[in-house]
Amino acid sequence: MVLKPKDYKAIEKEINRLFWEVLFKPIVAALEVPDKEIKNAKAPLYVCRPVINADQILDWAKSQGFKSTLKAEDLHVTICHSRAGVESKDISKASGTLIVSQSSGRYITPLGDKGAVVLMFNSALLETRWLELIDKHGASWDYDSYHPHITISFDAAGVDLAKVRPYDGPIVLGAEVHQKLISSWRSKISELLNAQGTALDWAIKNGVVYYEDGLFRGKFNAAISRDLRNIGAKFNPKSKTWSYSGVLPAEISVAVVAADMKYNALKKRLISALDGVDVEKIAKLSRLKQMFGIEIEALDDEFKKAVKSVTIAPNLTPGMQKVLAQDWSANLEIYIKRWTEENILKLRQQVQANAFAGRRAKAMVQAIQQDFGVSKNKAKFLARQETSLLMSKYREARYKEIGVSKYRWSGSMDERERHDHKVLEGEVFTWDNPPVVDRKTGRRAHPGEDYGCRCVAVPLID
């Protein structure tokens, strides 16, 4: 009785079905991210405090010669304007009012390139809050430092700023206001991402390139590299990345935000799916007991035919058949559980480490398909090994049962056969004293019990 493909193919198929149902099916389902989950993923965040006594500050501005000022309801102090995605639900809002003292180092200065004139002041509390949002919550900031200020006007024509006396009254700020910026960013995304764009825009939208911590990573062709050079990025030959410092151009920044929001939603779903995998379902879904039962029944018929001319073999009782089937199916289910747990750990580490190239759903699918391919090979190995071991143990038990105590080792004698097995060719052994099949370790086994062993025991009837 030699192990043939038909002897293990059905069992291999069953192992693959269990892998698919328990592990890969939930993961593949997790890759389909609904739009609402992308909207609720990490997103750009804006945090500010409105100015409660805005009327007092605007009266001061007019007394200093400002003819055009912002409206009272528009006066505020920005604390955070993060282009990077932030999990806003984890950030508590600072409540109550904050009064900035009159001795807070105030001065008037132009800011930016849009004609803004601002009232600068010092506030240790606001600076600490700004730093907390960056260090603790991962918010980004487009500038090297933070200095609290209130924008007074975008048109200071006719005002000599050098002669303006800074406002010296109290500044009263209200509770924090948090905005996810989704509506404004989504309108930009819709407008900019539907436009022709550059090769770099396309690469970021499609996950070929992604931007993180001042570096562009991914796959770069000539057109993408040209666009990176045009925005001032520098190529790093050793790491094969492009570094960029400063504020990203608007269209690139929008593409990065869109890609990050989609990836963060995808990552969250994958981790949740992996954490929810129930490896105990393997035993409930498994049909291995029935399959091994069928295999044992076929083995028994074949065995009876083989020894018919020598003796009458006693029948294998249903109870004995059930015990054999349970032993081998339980052993195989343990292997499958272990292998499933290893796959879960491996995939979770990949997701956590952002190992999926370009953060693309497509790349994640490819990685999972690759893992499933490995599992299919593993299933083939397990099916062959356990079926071979079952056949070997069954033969041993049945031959001993009819009084056959010896066998002759018979191998394939081809290039695939182990050297230690070849030297056993033609040798006679007893079932109670298996030969050494690995001289390095001293391991002993009968034919078919070693990993991948295709050798058989030819019974010797006295």
Q: Which of 344, 339, 400 is nearest to 368 (CA)?
A: 344
Mean pLDDT of 68-95: 89
The residue assigned the tokens 């509506």 is 183
Contact between 73 and 54 under an 8 Å Cβ cutoff? The reply is yes
C-alpha to C-alpha distance for 89 and 83, rounded to whole angstroms: 17
- What are the percentages of helix, strand and coil residues in the chain, rounded to 5? 50, 15, 35
**pLDDT (0 to 100) of residue 203:** 86
Contact between 167 and 106 under an 8 Å Cβ cutoff? The reply is yes
Report how far apart the first and last C-alpha atoms of the chain are (Å, whole number): 20
**pLDDT (0 to 100) of residue 289:** 86
Highest mean pLDDT range out of 119-128, 256-265, 353-362?
A: 119-128
Residue 362 pLDDT level (bands cut at 50, 70, 90): low
R_g of the chain, CA atoms, integer Å: 36
The residue type of 189 is I
Residue 318's CB is within 10 A of a number of other CB atoms, namely 10
**pLDDT (0 to 100) of residue 245:** 84
* 28-32, 193-197, 389-393, range with the lowest pLDDT: 193-197
**pLDDT (0 to 100) of residue 214:** 86
Contact between 28 and 275 under an 8 Å Cβ cutoff? The reply is no
Where are the extended beta strands (E) located within 51-138?
A: 76-86, 98-100, 107-111, 116-120
pLDDT at 225 over 60: yes
* Helix 5-19 vs helix 318-352: crossing angle, to nearest 10: 50
For CA atoms 136, 138, 144, 150, give the dihedral sign.
negative
Q: pTM of the predicted model, to two decimals?
A: 0.56
**pLDDT (0 to 100) of residue 294:** 79
pLDDT at 205 over 80: no
* Helix 361-401 vs helix 318-352: crossing angle, to nearest 10: 160
* 82-96, 225-239, 418-432, range with the lowest pLDDT: 82-96
Highest mean pLDDT range out of 85-94, 259-268, 320-329, 405-414?
A: 405-414
Strand order of the sheet with strand 215-218?
209-212, 215-218, 241-243, 234-236
DSSP 358: G
What is the residue extent of each domain of the chain? 52-173, 185-271, 404-462
Strand order of the sheet with strand 428-430?
428-430, 406-410, 456-460
3-class DSSP state of 460 = strand
The residue type of 140 is S
Residue 161 CA neighbour count, 13 Å, CB half = 15
Highest mean pLDDT range out of 24-28, 355-359, 365-369, 458-462?
A: 24-28
Contact between 364 and 31 under an 8 Å Cβ cutoff? The reply is yes
C-alpha to C-alpha distance for 396 and 455, rounded to whole angstroms: 14
Residue 380's CB is within 10 A of a number of other CB atoms, namely 17
The residue assigned the tokens 């480490």 is 353
Contact between 37 and 269 under an 8 Å Cβ cutoff? The reply is yes
**pLDDT (0 to 100) of residue 2:** 59
Contact between 70 and 61 under an 8 Å Cβ cutoff? The reply is no
Highest mean pLDDT range out of 185-194, 230-239, 392-401?
A: 230-239
- Beta bridge partners, 136, equal none
The residue type of 199 is A
3-class DSSP state of 296 = helix
3-class DSSP state of 117 = strand
pLDDT at 40 over 80: no
- pLDDT tens track for 384-424: 888 888 888 888 878 888 888 889 999 888 888 889 899 99
The residue assigned the tokens 């639900």 is 89
**pLDDT (0 to 100) of residue 232:** 92
Residues counted in the chain: 462
Q: Please give the mean pLDDT across all residues of the chain.
A: 83
282 versus 324: the higher-pLDDT residue is 282
- pLDDT tens track for 410-459: 988 888 888 989 999 999 999 889 999 988 999 898 888 887 788 888 88
Cα–Cα distances in angstroms (integers) from residue 378 to residues 198, 249, 333, 336, 343, in the given order: 44, 49, 13, 9, 12
C-alpha to C-alpha distance for 428 and 220, rounded to whole angstroms: 65
Please classify residue 37 by burial: count the beta carbons closer than 10 Å to its beta carbon, then call 0-12 exposed, 13-18 middle and 19+ buried: middle
Q: What phi-psi label fits residue 115: left (phi over 0), alpha (psi between -120 and 50 degrees) or beta?
A: left
